[in-house]
Amino acid sequence: MMKYGYLFLLVFLGACGSAKKAYLFTSFREPATDGLYFLGSEDGTHWTDLGGSWLKPEIGEKKLMRDPSMAQGPDGVWHLVWTSGWNGDKGFGYASSTDLIHWSPQEFVPVMAGEADAFNVWAPEIFYEKDSAQFIIVWATTIPFRFPKGIEDEKNNHRLYCTTTKDFKTFAPTRLFFDPGYSVIDAMIVQRGAHDFVLVFKDNTRNQRNIKVAFSDRASGPYHNDSKAFTPEFTEGPSVAQVGKTYYIYFDSYREKKYGAVRTTDFKTFTGAEVSVPVGHKHGTVVRVDRKTLERLNKNAKK
């Protein structure tokens, strides 16, 4: 009995080990013409470059892929959205995959087509809301003269907009998502618990250009009580990795050409974090995957 019990324990532990979670960071490289890159990590703080391109951009006027954001639905399908152009595009790119290697034909989702003066669609961020069984996609757009100018040029006075979808075929009408009274871009939704959501975003005004948070009891908002900045100036592209009870908020220090992070347990107190991010990594989203997925991507890495 001892022998068989020991063998059972080994099998059980092996199964538990194979099911352990890892982390994947979507990424792009300047000048954003290559497409989708990945970083992998087993602890959420030390990252390895898995190379690219895993998906080369084919849609949009400039055929670019910036700010790739990804989320997985309950059916296991991964959904990817991205910025397809700096200015002029009134939508974003979309593709899906079951294995992160083979991708569906790319589509252009014209979410701002109804706004004649919309200047851009930047950094679409995708979030799966379990309660409503739908995806929320949030992005930044400038519509000149729509909001008080403040200190920003009319073509840099962004607000956040959103749509929702269950099937990526039908999308809810675009609506204003977040207007804190100043230019804001690069937002992502974090769920801490039931009726407890945090919006992590960039204050894009000239005297700030750093990362803040706001709070809501619903993923769809409204968000309020926006915080003071907790990163230096010239930081953007926040993404969050939850490791145990700690949240690591990654950000692009774009003038220093490097990635940094802070950590927090309550989104009120933030401290510097020691992280390792490969040079060249740009704005993406951290998602949880199983170890087998990371191993398979490592095996097929395109470096």
Asked whether the beta carbons of 122 and 131 are under 8 A apart, the reply is: no
- Identify whether 11 is part of a domain: no
Indicate if the alpha-carbon torsion angle 132, 135, 139, 144 is positive or negative: negative
Rg of the chain in Å (alpha carbons): 20
What is the model's pLDDT at position 10? 35
Whose CA is closest to 84, among 53, 56, 118, 59?
59
Instruction: Look at residue 19 in the predicted model and tell me its pLDDT.
Output: 55
**92-138 per-position pLDDT tens digit:** 999 999 999 999 999 999 999 999 999 999 999 999 999 999 999 99
pLDDT over threshold 60, residue 271: yes
Choice between 145 and 301, residue whose per-residue pLDDT is larger:
145
Task: Give residue-wise pLDDT tens across range 196-253.
Answer: 999 999 999 999 999 999 999 999 999 999 999 999 999 999 999 999 999 999 999 9
Tell me the C-alpha distance between 19 and 7, whole Å: 19
Mean pLDDT across the chain, nearest whole number? 93
Q: Is residue 28 over pLDDT 80?
A: yes
- Please check whether residue 59 lies inside any domain of the structure: yes
Residue 6, in any domain of the structure: no
The answer to whether residue 251 sits within a structural domain is yes
> What's the pTM?
0.92
CATH of the domain at 39: 2.115.10.20
Whether omega before 31 lies within 30 degrees of 0, making that bond cis, reads: yes
**How many domains would you assign to the chain?**
1
Interval 185-208: pLDDT, tens: 999 999 999 999 999 999 999 999
pLDDT of residue 145: 96
The verdict on residue 244 lying in a domain is: yes
Residue 9, domain member (yes or no): no
Cα 34 from Cα 52, distance rounded (Å)? 8
Identify the three-state secondary structure at position 16: helix
Alpha helices in the chain (DSSP H): 2-18, 291-299
Decide if 53 is inside a domain.
Answer: yes
pLDDT digits (tens, 9 = 90+) for 42-67: 999 999 999 999 999 999 989 999 99
Buried/exposed code over 113-142 (b: 16+ C-beta within 10 A; e: otherwise): eeeeebbbbbbbbbbbbeeeebbbbbbbbb
Amino acid identity for residue 184 in this structure: V
- Do residues 264 and 249 lie in contact, with contact meaning Cβ atoms separated by under 8 Å? yes
Band of pLDDT at residue 150, cut at 50, 70 and 90: confident
> Does a structural domain hold residue 10?
no
Domain hosting 144: range is: 21-299
Burial call 21-55: b when 16+ CB within 10 Å, e when fewer: ebbbbbbbbeebebbbbbbbbeebbebbbbbbebb
